Structure 1
């Protein structure tokens, strides 16, 4: 008698696994995610980090337990932004990383972004393999288990890399910038970097709080009224707003007008293509025509993808593009 195919539930969405903490996302799922990752990846060390959501420490413990049970050493980076964790994964001997976050979603949500050894979220093929393992939920514990090392806050090499890519350092030192980190973990990075570059920084919602009391975590125009007002009142040169895990940046101009993310992408694209005519630019199909117009003007090659940062990032690698971005404020290079 032929065996029936069992349909494996879909866990990964556009960007990782997300759901309401305590209902759809809990310590049991976190343990299975850690166990599946520990089974799938060959190397011995995995970096883990989290945003400031109240459920993140609980999920961190479940995730770490699953990895340790599979014999993987865990490097616990604690509170960290998604870009910083991805950088650390790529530039160390780690096999993978996991960021516990629900990005821009409301505080009751949480989830997992699984990062491959190249610093980019794992491809869809690996997501499917993890889903099969998580659904099967059968694990063989390692003897001995892995070891856990706490290295929270040690991201000096990340700041050094960011500083090395600032082309107009003197210009930054003359700016007054209002930074609204939305009570997210980018409070650990953006204000510090800008102050180090000499900018005068005014912090807004710059205390990490997983309930996001200052504003909705998604940096959309309707949530940035206070930032716009402060930029105008302070006579600042610009404002910057981040989401919960710091992988989106939306800018406010000196008049207090919130600029869409794809307009920021277009400015970066224009500068890049001016210096690298003919370069490839990757963006999803929901990006505005301004990105296409700049590519045409500068003789660049525009490549469209499905929606999702993983789609953009993986396409950048596959086609050898120099830049990619989304309308939500995410830029990749």
Structure 2
């Protein structure tokens, strides 16, 4: 079975790094047959079949162990209930005591796994991918599973374990209420009764976010909050170009702040009356708000993080350590480096005091509570100058990524400029003039991503021409 996720079998094509890089992480590990950067993911109809889900459930049940307590939840995709049924049955037949939280956000499942004393948790979601996709993510009481545990589950999928002698049980609990009530108790309180428009992408956040915000005292405007992924009025990824309707609604309703989630609410983005914030603004704003009360000033970013984040955080004495892309990599780096928090360009935020997993609503509450004038946040950020940058996406079937990246890696070595290579996650070259380029395959989509940054637009365009030519040649 070939899943949507790019296989971990691809490894860095170049072992000839020209010099080190102070933020380089360990060389990228090969990806697995089923697991990618964020669990198992594929087309619900042809890849996440009942037969495969049962095999995955048997494997997870054997991994967690008979009589262990395992909770499950799902997002609002139409395939979620079917996958839930197969998953719950498989876990129970392995002797697990299964609790179904119903429709819930991914951070909600992870949080309740720890707070309610479960041994493991399984989330049915494809996050920001279109509704026809779905996926399975695993966790334990400590948060997202480490790669070694994912590899153990993967081996059990291919070599099905024997069924448990005693069948487990299945019960249902209102996960939304359990999570929302706990979140209200620990969330920072607002400075004023701010009107907030919340765009939930027709996902499970629709059941949680408005409820929590109102309990905290915010004046809430619900937008795109019908809990059915097929009814979302935008793509599920909360990128600025996708938030035009939400921005219009914010202006029309007189809201001051806007929050947008992805399909399972583990990503978040912001907007105000002047429009949607870009990735740099989102990351910097959440970091500044969260670090206000902390002595620890180490932030985990990724190789995608632009220099703007470093520049903003340097003003408060904070530093950025870059690791591989993916919320799992950020979680691991936060643990290993004892960081204050972790951020990813895509809108993932890891706040260890909340949990070692990507959250969205909690970081949003931290940001909202940090100001009584939401529009001033962006104005403050504008005081820090930014380099020119661009990002491009080139379609590339997953089965062609390995060959394409090998070709691109070889060609990039011949580019002039004395760049320093970091191949922890794709290929990133940093040049003496502070410009950099990066080419990396997506871990969740059939694309290859190109990144460029420089002090001048001319230099960005120069890098674009050189790399796009190589990439297009590689892709035929």
Task: Note whether the superposition's TM-score is higher than 0.5.
Answer: yes
Does 306-315 or 293-302 show the bigger shift?
293-302
Matches within 5 A, 1:18-37: 18-37=41-60
Aligned partner of residue 154 in structure 2, secondary structure: helix
Q: What 5-or-longer segments of structure 2 have no aligned partner?
A: 1-8, 10-30, 352-476
Please name the residue that 2:184 is paired with. Answer: 163
Shift of 1:116: 2.0
Pairing 1:90–2:121 present: no
Aligned pair partner of 1:249 in 268, 277, 280:
268
Question: Would the alpha carbon gap of residues 243 and 108 (structure 1) be closer, same or farther in structure 2, given more than 3 Å must change?
Answer: same
Distance, in Å, in 2 between the alignment partners of 1:188 and 1:102 is: 18
Matches within 5 A, 1:62-101: 62-101=86-125
Matches within 5 A, 1:216-255: 216-255=235-274
For each residue in 1:259-310, what CA deviation from the matched residue of structure 2 results, as whole angstroms up to 9, or x when unmatched? Answer: 1244222123224444434522111111222221233222223211100001
Would you say the 8 A contact 1:262–1:326 is kept in 2? no
Would you say the 8 A contact 2:121–2:139 is kept in 1? yes
Please name the residue that 2:132 is paired with. Answer: 108
Please name the residue that 2:300 is paired with. Answer: 282
Shift of 1:325: 1.3
Distance, in Å, in 2 between the alignment partners of 1:65 and 1:269 is: 42
Distance, in Å, in 1 between the alignment partners of 2:295 and 2:206 is: 36
Pairing 1:297–2:321 present: no
Distance, in Å, in 2 between the alignment partners of 1:24 and 1:154 is: 29
Aligned pair partner of 2:168 in 146, 162, 167:
146
Pairing 1:191–2:210 present: yes
Shift of 1:332: 1.2
Structure 1 vs Structure 2 CA RMSD: 1.9
Please name the residue that 1:54 is paired with. Answer: 78
Please name the residue that 1:10 is paired with. Answer: 33
Aligned partner of residue 224 in structure 1, secondary structure: helix
Aligned pair partner of 2:335 in 309, 313, 317:
317
Does 274-283 or 200-209 show the bigger shift?
274-283
Pairing 1:259–2:282 present: no
Please name the residue that 1:330 is paired with. Answer: 348
Shift of 1:199: 1.7
Does 100-109 or 146-155 show the bigger shift?
146-155
Would you say the 8 A contact 1:278–1:298 is kept in 2? no
Distance, in Å, in 2 between the alignment partners of 1:163 and 1:153 is: 14
Does 101-110 or 20-29 show the bigger shift?
20-29
Would you say the 8 A contact 2:301–2:320 is kept in 1? yes
For each residue in 1:76-125, what CA deviation from the matched residue of structure 2 results, as whole angstroms up to 9, or x when unmatched? Answer: 1110000110000111221110100000101110010111221x221111
Distance, in Å, in 2 between the alignment partners of 1:168 and 1:44 is: 37
Would you say the 8 A contact 2:176–2:208 is kept in 1? no
The TM-score, its normalising length taken from structure 1, stands at 0.91
Distance, in Å, in 2 between the alignment partners of 1:57 and 1:50 is: 8
Please name the residue that 2:146 is paired with. Answer: 123
Aligned partner of residue 169 in structure 1, secondary structure: coil
Distance, in Å, in 1 between the alignment partners of 2:296 and 2:139 is: 30
Question: Would the alpha carbon gap of residues 302 and 212 (structure 1) be closer, same or farther in structure 2, given more than 3 Å must change?
Answer: same
Question: Would the alpha carbon gap of residues 314 and 281 (structure 1) be closer, same or farther in structure 2, given more than 3 Å must change?
Answer: same
